[in-house]
Amino acid sequence: MDRLAAVDPEGLKHSALAAVDAARTLGELDDARVAYLGRKSELKLALRDVRDRESGMALNAVREAIEGAVAAKQEALERAELEERLATERVDVTLPGTPHLRGHLHLVTQIRREVEDIFLGMGYEVVDGREVETTRYLFDALNMAPNHVTRSPLHSLYVSESTLLRTETSPSQIHTMEARKPPIFMVSLGRTYRRDTPDTTHSPFFHQVEGLAVDRGITLADLKGTLLHLLRALFGAERRARFTTDFFPFTEPSLQVAVSCFQCDGEGCAMCGRTGWIEIGGSGMVDPNVLRFVGYDPEEVSGFAFGWGLERMAILRHGLPDIRDLWANDLRFLRQF
């Protein structure tokens, strides 16, 4: 009876509701619930001791009021917590994602494939070459005199006395002819190496396309028609070709090929040095000595060949100021093409 007498139902209800109201988290609310409704709470102890109906009803009304307040507060806190989580863990699928960098083929690789396609379209085959060659294939077979300047280690990069990095793709001609009999219509594209000091127009390595056609009755007219087709495919259907005499040990006659300037169409401008023509590369009729070297009879078969630089094609087509830009691997440069 002492305890009951000490309990003030209205005061208890007041402080309980205040505690419930003050709870900011579910944990705090649980603390308040234990304090005011728990087994050892003032209210529960009083209820256990109550003897008269009136006091019991009053205390139960207080209990119901507190339970109701706790339940309502619990629901409010749970809703707030859910809303907080929804707000902070939200995924906005409309936000731009992290961009993935897409690579693409190097400009010279693009041109390499383009040239391959042009020749595949004419029925040629694409043949692999070797970047490390012997002096036999690079010089002897190509009819180069024993004192020819490219034999010098000052000009070429030797691996041993008789092996070196190829200075041109022409030895691919020899490997192909040795491996089979005419008719041969092939191109071979790849890297070449020279002991050159890099500057705007020189690089110690660059790429060439080598072409070779050998059959009965191949003439200079075949050379001219084929290379004019290549020039037009590369530089535009209106282009004209100019063939002037030149010298290469492995061709006779040898011809330098030029294309009518695709900027001024032959009028004369800065691009073509006011000549109207842009030199593209060497060509010629395969020298009888080369045919004999691989066991062909020059009285029976004849052929034409050419060897042009791929970087030069890229530089001309895009007006590039410096060959070194192509191999500096600066993505800001390479992404433009």
Q: Which residues bind ligand DAH (CB under 6 A)?
A: 168, 170, 210, 248, 251, 282-284, 305-307
- Give the shortest CB-168-to-ligand DAH separation in angstroms: 3
- Give the shortest CB-106-to-ligand DAH separation in angstroms: 21
- Give the shortest CB-306-to-ligand DAH separation in angstroms: 5
Smaller CB separation from ligand DAH, 276 or 282: 282
Smaller CB separation from ligand DAH, 133 or 210: 210
Alpha helices per DSSP H over the chain: 2-6, 9-22, 26-37, 42-49, 53-88, 107-120, 135, 171-179, 220-235, 288-293, 310-318, 331-334
CA distance 66 to 32: 10
Smaller CB separation from ligand DAH, 125 or 238: 125
Smaller CB separation from ligand DAH, 72 or 149: 149
Place of tokens 């308040």: 32
Smaller CB separation from ligand DAH, 13 or 151: 151
Residue nearest ligand DAH by beta-carbon distance = 307
Q: What Å distances lie between residue 103 and 114, 276, 320, 324, 334, CA to CA?
A: 18, 37, 21, 21, 10
Cis ω before 9 (30° cut-off from 0): no
- Give the shortest CB-204-to-ligand DAH separation in angstroms: 14
For 52-67, letters b (16+ CB in 10 Å) and e give: eeebeebbeebbebbe
- Give the shortest CB-162-to-ligand DAH separation in angstroms: 20
